[in-house]
Amino acid sequence: MTTANVSVEPAPARGLSSAVRDRLQQLLAFASLIVIAGFFSIASSSFFSYSNITSILFSTVVIGTLALGTTFVIITGGIDLSIGTGMALCAVMSGVFIVNLDLPVGLGVLAAILFGGLIGLVNGFNVAIMKIPPFIATLAMMLVAQGLALVISHSAPIYFTDDPSYVKISTGNLIPGVDFPNAVLVLLVAVVVSAILLSKTILGRYTYSIGSNEEATALSGINVRTWKIVIYTLAGLFIGLAGVMISARLGSAQPATGMGYELQAIAAVVIGGTSLAGGKGSIVGTLIGALIISVLNNGLQIMSIPQEWQNVILGIVILVAVYADMIRKKEA
């Protein structure tokens, strides 16, 4: 019967090896990043300079941090719309802890990050236990967070004027003698931590597993509900971190900001090759996605293209990225 068995095998894919094909979207994203950056370096001499590149990295921090946590959620097949306004709420809470309650900066930062975790925990509870579809559950949380941020801050920014060390979290230079903002270091640490979580731990394995086939994961004896809560809470911790980073950068907690960040973060995740259908995605991809958005914004600004057009171009980039992914899937 071996002969018949062999004939059942599909013909081996021509050309690309399967490992390369699986990584193709990432490679594509990386190649686009290089092409876009190359284009801007030719179009503008000031683009490819140390100060501009640090400034691109610096502007990637907030979107990047949000996108990291969202990557986990999206790989499970979920979505988190509350990250933008949730971030604003965490910024406000950071202000409340540090300015109003006069906690030490370190403690206040920790509390703000944990508060983000609380937002994620509630999202996770609603999604996993109450079985509310993630889109609805986090849409509701988006509104709740936006409202709470305004209520708690009395619709006024909270300034960290008396805590200069808070601002240092973002703009200070930890590495002596080098002009390299701390915020970028924070982002890099967050990238490394989330990359390890996603690819090397059971948390990551179950994240993929749930997104790939939730029912099968449950039948394999894995407590899908618990893990979903853990994953949304993790995304919440990143919301908290982003809240700290944005308020440290601005030197103030702006309660009315935040709306719109969630879409940019989701865009970064999608450009990076993570499938909204779940089961597939990577941290490296997300980082590249976030960088593409920053490079685009920065380069277009240098070329004095108005903000309005930047959004049009970003929209087109998303379409192209997703379309490229679909073509890849068809070929695979």
Closest to another protein by CB, 144 or 218: 218
The separation between CA 35 and the C-alpha centre of its own chain, rounded to angstroms, equals 22
Closest to another protein by CB, 18 or 161: 18
Task: Name residues whose C-beta falls within 8 Å of residue 290's C-beta, 6 or more positions apart in sequence.
Answer: 60, 63, 64, 67, 265, 268, 272
Q: Is 47 helix (H, G, I), strand (E, B) or coil?
A: coil
Checking DSSP bridges between strand 252-253 and strand 158-159, what pairing results, if any?
A: antiparallel
Residue 177 CB, nearest distance to another protein (Å)?
Answer: 36
Q: Looking only at residues 179 through 208 of this chain, which bind another protein when binding is defined by CB under 8 A?
A: 200-205, 208
The separation between CA 93 and the C-alpha centre of its own chain, rounded to angstroms, equals 21
Residue 200 CB, nearest distance to another protein (Å)?
Answer: 5
DSSP character at residue 330: H
Residue 21 CB, nearest distance to another protein (Å)?
Answer: 9
DSSP character at residue 11: P
Among 41, 212, 310, 311, binds another protein (CB under 8 A): 212
Contact between 69 and another protein per CB under 8 A? no
Among 27, 36, 114, 222, binds another protein (CB under 8 A): 222
Please provide the DSSP assignment of 218-278 as one string.
Answer: HHTT--HHHHHHHHHHHHHHHHHHHHHHHHHHHTEE-TT--TTHHHHHHHHHHHTT--TTS
Binding mask 271-290 for another protein (x = CB under 8 A): --------xx----------
Binding mask 125-144 for another protein (x = CB under 8 A): --------------------
Among 153, 217, 252, 257, binds another protein (CB under 8 A): 217
Contact between 5 and another protein per CB under 8 A? yes
Among 22, 55, 150, 324, binds another protein (CB under 8 A): 22
The CA distance from 94 to 160, in Å, is: 10
Residue 109 CB, nearest distance to another protein (Å)?
Answer: 24
Among 55, 213, 301, 310, binds another protein (CB under 8 A): 213
Which long-range CB contacts under 8 A does 275-279 form with residues at least 24 apart?
Answer: 275/74, 275/75, 275/325, 276/74, 276/79, 277/77, 277/211, 278/74, 278/75, 278/76, 278/77, 278/78, 278/210, 278/211, 278/212, 279/75, 279/77, 279/208, 279/211, 279/212, 279/213
Residue 135 CB, nearest distance to another protein (Å)?
Answer: 18
Residue 57 CB, nearest distance to another protein (Å)?
Answer: 29
Among 20, 174, 192, 216, binds another protein (CB under 8 A): 216
Binding-site ranges for another protein (CB under 8 A): 1, 3-5, 7-10, 18, 22, 200-205, 208-209, 211-213, 215-222, 279-280, 332
